[in-house]
Amino acid sequence: MTPSFCVAALGFTMLRAPAPSCAARIGCAVVMAAADAPPLLVVSGLRATVADTPILKGVDLIVRRGEVHAIMGPNGSGKSTLSKVLVGHPSYEVTGGCARYRNDEDLLELEPEERAQQGIFLAFQYPVEIPGVSNNDFLRLAVNKRRGALGLDEYDPLEFLGVLSEKMEMVSMSPDFLGRDVNSGFSGGEKKRNEILQMALLEPELAILDETDSGLDIDALKTVAAGVNACRSEKNAMILITHYQRLLDYVKPDFVHIMYQGRIVRSGGPELALELEAEGYAFLGITKEQQPALS
Ligand code: ADP
Ligand code: MG
């Protein structure tokens, strides 16, 4: 993950991602949204490659406002790839299928920074450090780009400080972090809190959290979960990529999906995550020993 993409994923800096027209993609299904309640995101038959290797092999997923979807699955299943394809990471080439956003817009046609400005947010599995850029300036720039896209006035530095202080309290972050460069020298837990802070400030319509719970001690996990729950509303939706039931003890998902070998192979309610915790991925022919992250 490069700093430049990380910046684009927050809505600023021009980066060009390959985006062939939706109609040209093989297997693109036209999904008609109900007139009164269109889904926020419809992913249909999505295929993608990285370095010419197929990773996503036909992902189908429908997310509506107000919903929290957990995506679980063994390592290497393509979960992070799906999240990066949805935000337009340039290393991933879409080779088939569609992703429609809000009023049936072709998400894959938008540049990464446009997706961010239109309310898509990704908390990275491995947040990057951006030396030379203060966290305060970085966050204000990102928030003002999003506000601009919403037709709202930009915050001046003083106004922003007020907004920021409130949100920092929410994720129990000390004001010391504002003057420091983005993620520079932050511990793993501090980086994850910083991702939640970004989310709280940007107020995304679709937030994707990629293993934001990994490596956190129980207090940090509770703080992150509280931040997620505070951001949750009927107007937005969240996709939580996680290995662990323990996050789902604090953030109750509406749906749980299992991804394996580039596809969603099973979907259910919260009970599916409990079943996984008890039995692992035996139903996929994988033993707990082969999947240490679950043990
Ligand atoms: P998950 O998040 O489910 O663990 P990933 O989406 O990270 O899975 O990875 C799926 C597969 O794609 C893995 O085999 C991984 O090695 C490969 N992959 C992902 N990103 C890259 C990349 N930038 N270059 C080469 N291979 C990659
Ligand atoms: Mg991953």
pLDDT at 26: 36
Distance CA 28, CA 210 (A): 26
- Mean pLDDT, residues 76-93 taken together: 96
Which ligand is in closest contact with the Cα of 48?
1
Residue nearest to atom 14 of ligand 1 (CA): 76
Q: Which CATH number fits the domain 3-294, given the four candidates 3.40.630.30, 3.50.50.60, 3.40.50.720, 3.40.50.300?
A: 3.40.50.300
Structure tokens at 9: 């994923």
SS3 assignment for 143-181: HHHHHHHCCCCCCCHHHHHHHHHHHHHHCCCCCHHHHCE
From the CA of 262, give the closest atom in ligand 1.
Answer: 10
* Phi, psi of 72, deg, nearest 5: -120, 180
pLDDT at 34: 40
Cβ neighbours, 10 Å, residue 76: 12
Helix axes 188-202, 218-231, angle to 10 degrees: 10
* Phi, psi of 137, deg, nearest 5: -65, -40
Residue nearest to atom 22 of ligand 1 (CA): 50
Which ligand is in closest contact with the Cα of 263?
1
For the chain, domain boundaries:
3-294
Q: Which of 265, 267, 260, 172 is nearest to 221 (CA)?
A: 172
Kindly provide the residue ranges of all beta strands, DSSP E only, lying in the chain, ordered along the sequence: 41-50, 53-63, 68-72, 92-101, 105-106, 120-123, 130-134, 181-182, 206-210, 237-241, 255-260, 263-268
Q: Indicate the range of 215-224, 248-257, 283-292 predicted with least confidence.
A: 283-292
pLDDT band at 25 (very low <50, low <70, confident <90, very high): very low
pLDDT at 294: 44
pLDDT at 220: 87
pLDDT digits (tens, 9 = 90+) for 120-132: 999 988 888 999 9
Highest mean pLDDT among 29-43, 122-136, 182-196, 228-242: 228-242
pTM to 2 decimal places: 0.86
